[in-house]
Structures are given as structure tokens and as C-alpha cells.
Chains A and B, each alone.
Chain A
């Protein structure tokens, strides 16, 4: 069960990113806060701050002196004493601080560089075709449940060498880790047990039978001539599975949800495929799925905000991406927007490691969808569901085909 909470009275002093109003449509909330109270506060979750201006989001994302990434998912507790402490954190490198961060990140960078991601495009395209072909000639498809949720899940399972048939379990892990954040701490710890057991089993299989995949890569990796600590391997494995799934699922879902409401733009992308890279950057800006979190290291005054040690920061890249100081007509989705310095993949040393993979999956997923369906439109705009938590995206949206 979840802790029952009173509804938010004023997002400036009592914000909650799991509040139904926020989940349904956070953009007016951020616009209001940016004008009225650019760094909002809440006593919920043991104390948290929310910057909504691009300048503040950027400043805090780049400030590893005052803010730690030890945990990046806001919950009711703080990392226990048994969790790996900074500078490694629970899921390196996303949870790591300097100087260890650079070592853990450099280890993973070659596997996610553009040249390493290219070879997975063929797998992704065939997967999209396999998902969509049964719907050709049909009248409806749910762009989230029938399509978007499967793409990043099966691609990352392929990359780490986990069984494709376990995909439903991976989405359960994502739900447990990223969405069920308002549960009591004891329940959260209990929920993590099967996740640890699953990963241990897969890691042990790879120790006995090494393969050409990211799991065996991590098991063979070394830092300064030493194999990685078991908690480093485990943490990075969880990161690879969890970070790659609901984020890109959300980005693909939101892009298709937008196009289902703007058939003229879908047609323009069919007629002018060279616009696709600009359109993808604009979908990433306008519907950025990921809010990150930081913890305040020590008591610290940030621009007049009296931040206390272990206060959370909800680092809202989606809010930054709608700041009129940086983006012209920020609430307009302009699929050929040229000047677009968006922060969808974060800013500073924690720029999303999988950004090249995410862009490839988005492009292929949208291309394959547009190629199969000459026209599609949202069946019922009021019957659309969004995820709760720090990753925002469409979880149910039925569209009419043809």
C-alpha cells in the first residue's frame, strides 16, 4: 500500500511529483513556479527543492561540490548505512561523484558511443517491424502497450544478454525502483529482494558461461588492474536495465502521442524525412521524460534558499526545457525548430550515457510507425494515462489506424 497523502495545496511550498495534478499535466505548474517561486520547496520526502528555471537546473547539475548523486531517485528514506556510499553510490556511474565517477563512466562510454550503437539499429528495426506488422489492416493500436514499451526493453535485454522472454519482469523492476517511490521504506526494501535475486542469477550464469554481451564485459572489466567490486557490477547492471527502459519508452510514446494529435506533422515527416533529426530533438525538448535527483551534501545557501544536508533536489530537465528565457515559444512543439539547446539528457558530468541509443531507438520506432500507417489519430484524448514518478511518459494511448 502507499502512504495516503493530502493533495498539494500550493506547489511553491508543498510540491509533490506524484500528485495527480502533476502526473496529468505538469507544464502549467512549472510555468507558474518559474514566475512566482523559481526554486520551490516541500516538506514531503523529508525535504526537497525544485528549480524550474533552466539557469538554476544547469547550475545545480554542474555543481558536484554542493550536491551529490549518491541516490538519484527521490523516496521517503535516505540511502541506508548498508548502501554503497559516495563516491560510488548504488548504481555507478549515475550515482557516483567525482573523482570515482570519471573512472566508472569512462569504463562504460565505449559501449554507448555512436560507433558502438550503430550495429544495434538492424536489431531494433526488425523488432519494430515484428511488433507493428500484426496491426497492419487493423483498426486500433495502443502506442504504449502494443509498441513503445517493448522496444527499449527488448533492445537493452539483447545488449546485456538477458532472456527476451523476461521483458515483463524488467518493466516490473522499473516500476518498483522508479514509480513506487511513495511506499514506506520497509516495503521498498522488501520489494528489492526479488530484483537482487534475479540479477545475481543472471550474473552467475555469465560467470559460468561468458558471452559477447555487456554483462560479460562488466565481469571482465578492470579498474587499475583489479576486477570491479561485486556491488559495482550489480549496481551498473541494474542501472543498464532500469535506465534504458521507461525513459526511451516514454520518449517514443510521447512522440507518437503528439503525432497522433497532429496528423499534418506526421505527413510532413513522411514527405520530408530529412526533418526527422530536428523533430526528434524537439520531441526530446518538449516531452523530456527524465527528472533526476540530487542530495544536498552539507547545509548550504543557494540563492537565498536555506538548503539542509540530505535535502533532495528534484532536478527537472523537462521544466528547464520549457523556460521562455532560453526557448522561443517554449510551449509550442515546432518539429523543425533549429535553435534548441535542450537538456533532455541532463547537463554536466552525468549526461545520459545511453543518449545515442535512445535517439536511435526513437528514430527507428517513429520511422517504422510512419511507414506502416498512412494516417492515425488519437482515439480518445481523455483516455490517456501517464506514468507517475521522475520519468514521465505515455503509458496508455489508443490510436485509430487508417
Chain B
């Protein structure tokens, strides 16, 4: 699984980096960013799906 954030959609709600802090972080403006190259460890996949389902701006994209 790979995950990315569309920076044009992200408004910094923070649902991703608070739900899955091993995968997402916030930048100095508070916008969501993906840690590393976006490859999701197996034990984080469920949390990342939840982030995708909770992002108010539909900014998170998952590719399997």
C-alpha cells in the first residue's frame, strides 16, 4: 500500500497525523505531510484507511 496527500486539497485539519503519527506528520504551517516515500507498513494499513475515510477534504489517496 502507498499513500499520498494532495497538497491542493489539504487544509490542515490534522485528522491524518493525529490518527496515524507513524505515517503522517505536520509541517511548520500545520499542513499534513507523508513521512518518507509513502510506503505504508503492513501494521499501519488499517489506520491509514481510517485516515482516508476521515479526511474532511478527501485529500488522502491510497494506491494498493
- Give chain A's interface residues, CB within 8 Å of chain B: 106, 109-110, 112-115, 277, 281, 338-343, 345, 347-349, 351, 355-356, 359
Contact = CB atoms under 8 A, between A and B. Distances in A.
Contact of A110 (B11, B17, B29): B29
Given A339-B53, A339-B54, A341-B55, A355 B13 contact: yes
A339 B30 CA distance: 22
A222 to B, nearest CB: 17
A115 B27 CA distance: 9
Contact of B29 (A109, A340, A342, A347): A109
A238 B34 CA distance: 35
Contacts of A113: 12, 26-30
23 contacts: A109-B12, A109-B31, A112-B30, A113-B28, A113-B29, A113-B30, A114-B14, A114-B17, A114-B30, A115-B28, A277-B18, A277-B19, A281-B54, A338-B50, A340-B54, A341-B53, A347-B11, A347-B57, A348-B57, A351-B11, A355-B13, A355-B14, A359-B18
A347 B28 CA distance: 21
A340 B11 CA distance: 17
Contacts of A342: 56
Nearest to A112: B30
Interface residues of B, number: 20
B30 A109 contact: yes
Contacts of B12: 109, 113, 351, 355
Interface string B5-35: 0000001111101110000001111110000
Query: What does DSSP make chain A's interface, helix, strand, loop or mixed?
Result: helix
Nearest to A338: B50
A283 B21 CA distance: 22
Given A341-B53, A341-B55, A114 B26 contact: yes
Interface string B40-61: 0000000000100111110000
Contact of B56 (A115, A277, A347): A347
Contacts of B57: 347-348
Contacts of A277: 18-19
A340 B30 CA distance: 21
> Max chain B CB contacts within 10 Å: which of A339, A341, A349?
A341
A106 B53 CA distance: 27
Contacts of B17: 114
A356 B26 CA distance: 11
Given A109-B30, A115-B28, A277-B19, A348 B11 contact: yes
A348 B9 CA distance: 8
Contacts of B54: 281, 339-341
> Max chain A CB contacts within 10 Å: which of B18, B30, B53?
B30
Nearest to B53: A339
B56 A110 contact: no
Contacts of B28: 110, 113, 115
Q: Which 5 pairs, one residue from A and one from B, show the smallest C-beta to C-beta distance? A: A113-B30, A351-B11, A109-B29, A339-B53, A114-B26
Contacts of B53: 339, 341
Contact of B13 (A109, A110, A351): A351
Contacts of B30: 109-110, 112-114, 356
A348 B58 CA distance: 11
A339 B50 contact: yes
Contacts of A349: 11
A322 to B, nearest CB: 15
A18 B17 CA distance: 37
A178 to B, nearest CB: 23
